[in-house]
Amino acid sequence: MTTETNKKYKLTDETINIFGRTLHRIQAIRDFGDVTSGELGGYVESEENLSHYGDAWASDNARVLDNARVLDNACVLDNACVSGDARVFDNARVFDNARVLDNARVLDNAQVFDNACVSGDARVFDNAWVSGDARVFGDALVFDNARVSGNSRVAGLVYFSQTDAWPITMCENWIVIGCQSHSTDRWLDFSDEEIAEMDEDALEWWRRWKPAIISARAAMGW
């Protein structure tokens, strides 16, 4: 339970209006993490948006509003915005002009930055990054050491993982590995000769990663 004695920041009288909602700039009232007492932070609609526990923080012109929560040691920086019922927690980072909306979750050591947006019921976790102008939405899952960048669009129930050579993106009936996009059945039916024709390193890679792909699909119920 948060009490006046264990609070780490206060709401100041400096406000901005976002979509008809009034947000207050915050100010640290004790040292924690890399934040020093007296340091000004970003903007929150209420103290419900930013936990007083851990090292969670909103800095610069970052905004947290609606029923969104920033918890644990997570940070929202720069001009980033977290809204709706979104949650950013553990050691996650949302920065630059990134947005986390709706019922999205960003957790573990995941990062969302540049102009990226995570929305819907999407989950970004483990050590995954979403950057550039990428959009992750729907029921998408981005995890492991995945890197979603550029103008990527990831929607639906998707497994995305960055391997040592090529990224893997999978949905129920389709697999994309690097620039090769085929149905799941086609991938599993490829001969060694057909795989080898895709790239000089493809066959060795396929033999190493094929069992992991099959296991991941089974774990997703595909």
Per-residue pLDDT tens digits for 38-68: 999 999 999 999 999 999 999 999 999 999 9
Q: Taking Cα atoms as reference points, which of 61, 32, 63 lies closest to residue 50?
A: 63
Rounding to the nearest 10 degrees, give the CA dihedral for residues 211, 214, 218, 222.
Answer: 180
Per-residue pLDDT tens digits for 85-116: 999 999 999 999 999 999 999 999 999 999 99
36: left (phi over 0), alpha (psi -120 to 50) or beta: beta
Per-residue DSSP letter, 115: T
Per-residue pLDDT tens digits for 168-212: 888 878 888 988 888 899 999 999 999 999 999 999 999 999 998
Is the alpha carbon torsion for 103, 222, 180, 164 positive or negative? positive
* pTM of the shown model: 0.81
